[in-house]
Amino acid sequence: DVKVTQSSRYLVKRTGEKVFLECVQDMDHENMFWYRQDPGLGLRLIYFSYDVKMKEKGDIPEGYSVSREKKERFSLILESASTNQTSMYLCASLTQGATDTQYFGPGTRLTVL
């Protein structure tokens, strides 16, 4: 079974703080993704990575950066958190094959005060 874990289920931070969200997968997948989920908007892609140290912007990268130093770990960084970054953050890892299915972690609900 694919296992994707995220460092926190709930996180509360203050405006201006630097925030790290960590995601780890145990299946040696090359592709990993960060989404944010907001009511009525579905999931929107922030960044993705297709290999170690490789990254590409998704649809809404502004205010975020990422780091992929090891294959199993993909970190999302909020350099200076703002209240409009209060959201649910979901990490996914891709199993490549006939269907190329993304498997998700449990999510981190971030509140920025």
Partner 1 sequence: AQKITQTQPGMFVQEKEAVTLDCTYDTSDPSYGLFWYKQPSSGEMIFLIYQGSYDQQNATEGRYSLNFQKARKSANLVISASQLGDSAMYFCAMREGHGSARQLTFGSGTQLTVLP
What is the closest distance, in whole angstroms, from the C-beta atom of residue 56 to partner 1 in the complex?
7
Which of positions 41-70 make contact with partner 1 (CB under 8 A)? Answer: 41-45, 48-50, 56, 58
| DSSP three-state, residue 107 | coil
Residue with tokens 């590409």: 56
Would you give the end-to-end CA distance of the chain in angstroms?
Answer: 37
Cα–Cα distance, 1 to 95 (Å, whole number): 11
The single residue among 31, 75, 85, 87 that binds partner 1, judged by CB under 8 A, is 31
What is the closest distance, in whole angstroms, from the C-beta atom of residue 101 to partner 1 in the complex?
6
Which of positions 73-112 make contact with partner 1 (CB under 8 A)? Answer: 88, 90, 92, 94, 96, 98-107, 109
Signed CA dihedral, 69, 50, 91, 3: sign only: negative
Q: How many CB atoms lie under 10 A from the CB of residue 65?
A: 14
Residue closer to partner 1 by CB (options 75, 87) is: 87
Provide the binding-site residues for partner 1, judged by CB under 8 A: 9, 31, 33, 35, 40-45, 48-50, 56, 58, 88, 90, 92, 94, 96, 98-107, 109
